[in-house]
Amino acid sequence: MGIRVRREKGNFKGGWCVVNDEECLMVNKRQSAEIQFSILAEAIRSLPLDSVYLKPKLRSALEDQWASPSQNPVSESDD
């Protein structure tokens, strides 16, 4: 898919950003695995994944995350 993902520590939630004129997906190492997955899932939601092979378990987890926004662990207090 050609997506550059960077996991770093800092005071940010994560998501798409531009670093050195390159678009990348930032994930905060200090957040839990559930929040990191939620950030990744939301960021790639708009990508054309129909033509990309994803392992069935991963695709199912992504679809579950997208279908259940109320279970999204990211909140405004996670700064």
- The pTM of the full predicted model, rounded to 2 decimals, is 0.74
- Model confidence pLDDT, tens digit, residues 11-66: 999 999 998 898 999 999 999 999 999 999 998 888 888 888 999 999 999 999 99
Distance CA 72, CA 14 (A): 14
User: What are the domain boundaries of the chain?
Assistant: 5-72
Task: Report which DSSP code applies to 11.
Answer: S
The pair of structure tokens assigned to 77 is: 């207090």
pLDDT in the model for residue 34:
93
The pair of structure tokens assigned to 68 is: 């259940």
Amino acid at 49: L
Question: Residue 4, SS3?
Answer: coil
